[in-house]
Structures are given as structure tokens and as C-alpha cells.
């Protein structure tokens, strides 16, 4: 099964894949609602693939906890998707530290990290279209 040109191995594979969506986090629980909707959409497209959210700060689970959880549920490979607009300090500095901690927590996992979502041309095209076509209210 594929998700936008990403091949996700079958559940029966020795390399069962999980997708971890990695977001900043915020204190307000409503902030996470769009990320949860995204997680649900991906999970509906690949029901055999665990899809979880992990947060840099302010929310749970953190990255190490998410890695342990997917590993406990059978994942042997993780596709980590940073839901950030660019590779600022959080992705240049914080992510490598958290990723190393997560690797130590679950040494048996293989990990691949995608580009930051906001650096992807298709994401930028979608945001450009949204900017031009989204309904607006008087400000």
C-alpha cells in the first residue's frame, strides 16, 4: 500500500512500519486538533500501519515514548515526519537530540526522517492554493 509515493510494507513483513508525526506541541489542547485529524486521515489510508503523534514539548507523548509505544505494538521501522514549516532550531538542534534519546530507548528500530513538511513543494503548492482560495471573513 502506498501513501503519496511512500511504500508502506505489509503488516506481515519483518520490517513493519509505523509513522510518527512529529509536531511542536502547545499548552492549549485545541491546538492539536488539526494534527489529530491529519493522523486519522493517514491511518485510514494505511490501516495496517500504526500512525501516532509525538511532540517536541508541552504535550505527550514525547518522541522516545512514541518510539517505545510503536515498537511495543510490533513496529520495526519508523518513518518520522516533522510537521514543521522549515528546518529552524527545533529541527536542527532539538530533533537530533530527541532522536538520539529515542534510538537509545529502542535500539532495534530502523528510522527514516522525511524533510520538514513545509519544505515540500506539494505542501507549499497546497498552501498557496489555500491562500488564494480560502473563504475569509472581514477583519
Average pLDDT over residues 98-124: 92
| pLDDT tens column, 37-91 | 999 999 999 999 999 999 998 999 999 999 999 999 999 999 999 999 877 777 8
Query: What's the whole-model pTM score?
Result: 0.85
Cell 522525511, residue?
114
Classify residue 68 by burial, with Cβ atoms within 10 Å: 0-12, 13-18, 19+: middle
Is 78:18 a contact under the CB 8 Å cutoff? yes
Domain ranges of the chain: 2-133
Mean pLDDT of the chain: 87
Architecture of domain 2-133: 3-Layer(aba) Sandwich (3.40)
Task: Identify the pLDDT of residue 15.
Answer: 62
Amino acid at each position: 500500500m502506498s501513501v503519496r509515493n511512500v511504500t508502506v510494507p505489509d503488516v506481515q513483513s519483518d520490517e513493519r512500519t509505523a509513522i510518527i508525526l512529529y509536531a511542536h506541541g502547545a499548552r492549549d489542547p485545541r491546538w492539536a486538533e488539526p494534527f489529530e485529524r491529519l493522523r486519522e486521515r493517514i491511518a485510514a489510508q494505511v490501516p495496517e500501519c500504526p500512525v501516532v503523534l509525538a511532540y517536541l514539548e508541552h504535550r505527550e507523548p514525547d518522541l522516545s515514548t512514541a518510539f517505545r509505544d510503536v515498537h511495543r505494538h510490533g513496529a520495526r521501522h519508523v518513518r518520522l515526519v516533522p510537521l514543521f514549516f522549515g528546518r529552524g532550531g527545533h529541527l536542527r538542534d532539538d530533533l537530533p537530540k530527541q532522536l538520539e534519546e529515542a534510538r537509545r530507548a529502542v535500539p532495534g528500530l530502523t528510522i527514516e526522517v522525511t524533510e520538514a513538511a513545509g519544505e515540500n513543494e506539494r505542501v507549499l503548492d497546497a498552501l498557496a492554493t489555500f491562500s488564494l482560495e480560502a473563504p475569509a471573513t472581514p477583519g
